[in-house]
């Protein structure tokens, strides 16, 4: 089973979904802006991605600036809480298969999962 955390308004997310479908995969689609991941889910995704919460943040979002998330003293838990509260901060798309996940930036990254 493959899952994509998807934002249909994002071109990279659409390209990643299309690439999966072109490879015969119909993933479970999570519209994460409508059904945001909770803290445990985000922690699990970060572990599968092998990255820190800071690396998953979209630094260009207004909420990043408004919440001063560039502050190096913020903990992993504080950054995760910010993403739970404002899912627009989550980099996208995230594709998960089993115990591994990749960011679809560039979309071709997902090919290592298929």
What pLDDT sits at residue 69?
98
Residue 36 CA to residue 45 CA, distance in Å, equals: 13
| Per-residue pLDDT tens digits for 21-71 | 999 999 999 999 999 999 999 999 999 999 999 999 999 999 999 999 999
Residue 21 CA to residue 46 CA, distance in Å, equals: 24
Residue 3 CA to residue 96 CA, distance in Å, equals: 5
What pLDDT sits at residue 114?
81
Mean pLDDT for 7-24 is 96
pTM of the model: 0.94
Mean pLDDT for 5-24 is 96
Judge whether 10 counts as a catalytic residue. Answer: yes
Q: In this structure, what CATH number is given to the domain that contains residue 22?
A: 3.40.30.10
Pairing of strands 28-31, 2-6: parallel
At residue 47, the 3 state secondary structure works out as helix
Question: Does residue 16 contact residue 107 with C-beta atoms inside 8 Å?
Answer: yes
The confidence band for 103, taking pLDDT boundaries of 50, 70 and 90, is very high
Q: How many domains does the chain have?
A: 1
- Of the candidates 10, 25, 29, 51, the residue annotated as catalytic is 10
Question: Does residue 18 contact residue 48 with C-beta atoms inside 8 Å?
Answer: no
The whole domain housing 32 covers 2-112
| Per-residue pLDDT tens digits for 68-94 | 999 999 999 999 999 999 999 999 999
Question: Does residue 37 contact residue 5 with C-beta atoms inside 8 Å?
Answer: yes
What pLDDT sits at residue 36?
95
């Amino acid at each position: 089973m493959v899952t994509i955390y998807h934002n249909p308004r994002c071109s990279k997310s659409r390209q990643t979904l299309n690439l999966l479908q072109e490879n015969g995969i119909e993933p479970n689609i999570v519209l994460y802006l409508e059904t945001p991941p909770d803290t445990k889910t985000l922690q699990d995704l970060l572990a599968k991605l092998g990255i820190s919460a800071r690396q998953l943040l979209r630094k260009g979002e207004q909420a990043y600036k408004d919440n001063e998330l560039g502050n190096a003293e913020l903990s992993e838990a504080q950054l995760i809480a910010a993403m739970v509260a404002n899912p627009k901060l989550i980099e996208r798309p995230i594709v998960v298969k089993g115990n591994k996940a990749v960011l679809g930036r560039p979309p071709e990254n997902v090919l290592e999962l298929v």
